[in-house]
Structure 1
Amino acid sequence: MLSLLLAAAPPALAHHPGADLDKMMGSEEKFFQIIDEPAAPPFELADADGKAVRLSDFSDKIVVLYFIFASCTDLCPIHSEVIADIQRKVNATPMKDRVQFLAVTTDPVRDTSEVLDAYGPAHGLDAGNWMFLTTRPGQPDGTTQKLSEAYNVRFEPLEDGQQMHGAVTHVIDRGGRFAAKFHGLRFDPLNMVLYINGLTNNVRKPAKPEPGWWDRLKVMFL
């Protein structure tokens, strides 16, 4: 039903807020942060099979990026389940082929290819447009932790093998533009879906939204 509604979405989006998308989301979601930088920090990592993966490989898609490690016992499993919920909502619509979800491990030594392969299915993630990335052979220790710091998320190793860290989900627009962040795990997943929908529709031109636009669009995803 959701995909049928979204297939008919373009006419309904005639009064989309356009360049005011960030402002609209900021008023609806208190854990949303506008970034709007020309380029997100680039990277070249590897997937579970060792194949090189670059952020630029997805320049024609919206990228949802987050940092975790597989042995994490607190935030990471919850974060991945939130992402899985968002992915299910996205993949039930025509947006499926326009969005790529990327998880990056900050514990590449213990997160072997077997661990990476098993993680997605265990947390309800669809490998069709989700990847768990790690370092490439020859890259120095701490490569992915430094990358997380480039995105302003710190992972501090603890003596018990865990890492102290927060949870942030980064949204990167087509062309590599760093669009926004959703902080923590208390944001409304539907708000991220609506934000991604706005980006996939390339609504960057100013347009005055009709009263109740947000509520009417939200109904389409319920």
Structure 2
Amino acid sequence: MKRVAIFLSVLMLVSASLSYQFYGLPYLQKVDDFTLTDHNGKKVKLSDFRDKIVLVFFGYTFCPDVCPATMLRIKETLENLGDYKKYVKVLFISVDPERDTPEKLKEYVNFYDKDGTIIGLTGTPEEIKKVARSFRAFYEKVPVKDNPEVGYLMDHTAYIYLLDNRGLLKLIYSPRKDNPKRIAEDIIQMIKLLKMEK
């Protein structure tokens, strides 16, 4: 059954590409359901958002450069969606659960989003590792020896992943290819293809 769904999804993307060229890198993979803790301290599952297009980004609140830049791109993407924003959720998954408490994540995501579209997620190191593995996302702790106050930074994958409303990973955006307007166009096209509009 899973193979049939993936096959039909491939056909949909191929037929769509005849009239629309997706900006993101096409990628077809089923992502296993997972449970993490959101920025309000509640347990949430990926499957809780099956009625949405889901953008996933792995980062951390102490990140000095890549994460703030990417989160600004995501913020701009949401602004470019107009009325289509209601069909989207963004999951910011921390790769630094040691420091990223729900309270810290709440403060962080609220800076980029005021209406709850972006959700900060954390968990145990084992939970984060399992979720990252399902996306083939990389991260590791890098000690900062000359700055004891910082202690360490996290080296991590900086892709934005787009999942459809069935939990299938469809498109990936790299840091070199993360134009907010173009990502928004992809999302709108995906919403239309999946006939999500009500």
Smaller-chain TM-score bracket: 0.7 to 0.9
Shift of 1:203: 5.2
Shift of 1:195: 0.8
Aligned to 1:89: 80
Would the aligned equivalents of 1:41 and 1:150 in 2 still touch at CA under 8 Å? yes
Shift of 1:41: 3.3
Shift of 1:78: 0.6
> Residue 21 in 1 paired to residue 16 in 2?
yes
Aligned to 1:34: 26
Aligned to 1:52: 43
Provide TM-score, normalisation by structure 1.
0.72
Which structure has the larger Rg? 1
**For residues 21-52 of structure 1, what are the alpha-carbon distances to aligned partners after superposition, in whole Å with 9 as ceiling and x for unaligned?**
356435xx4xx211123x22321001122211
Question: Percent of aligned positions with the same letter in both sequences?
Answer: 24
Question: SS at the partner of 1:145?
Answer: helix
* Aligned with residue 179 of structure 1, among 170, 174, 187: 170
Shift of 1:87: 1.2
Provide TM-score, normalisation by structure 2.
0.80
Aligned to 1:198: 189
Query: Which amino acid in structure 1 is aligned with residue 175 of structure 2?
Result: G
Aligned to 1:7: none
* Unaligned residue ranges in structure 2 (runs of 5+): 1-11, 145-151
Length, aligned pairs only:
176
**For residues 70-100 of structure 1, what are the alpha-carbon distances to aligned partners after superposition, in whole Å with 9 as ceiling and x for unaligned?**
001121111111111111112x22x122111
Shift of 1:18: 6.9
> Residue 167 in 1 paired to residue 158 in 2?
yes
> Residue 153 in 1 paired to residue 137 in 2?
yes
Shift of 1:189: 1.5
Question: SS at the partner of 2:21?
Answer: helix
Shift of 1:19: 4.2
Q: Distance in 2 between matches of 1:81 and 1:35?
A: 24
Aligned to 1:220: none
> Residue 113 in 1 paired to residue 97 in 2?
no
> Residue 131 in 1 paired to residue 115 in 2?
no
Query: Which amino acid in structure 2 is aligned with residue 63 of structure 1?
Result: V
Point out the structure with the larger strand share: 2
Would the aligned equivalents of 1:62 and 1:173 in 2 still touch at CA under 8 Å? yes
Question: SS at the partner of 1:103?
Answer: strand
Q: Distance in 2 between matches of 1:148 and 1:186?
A: 21
**Backbone CA RMSD of aligned residues:** 2.1
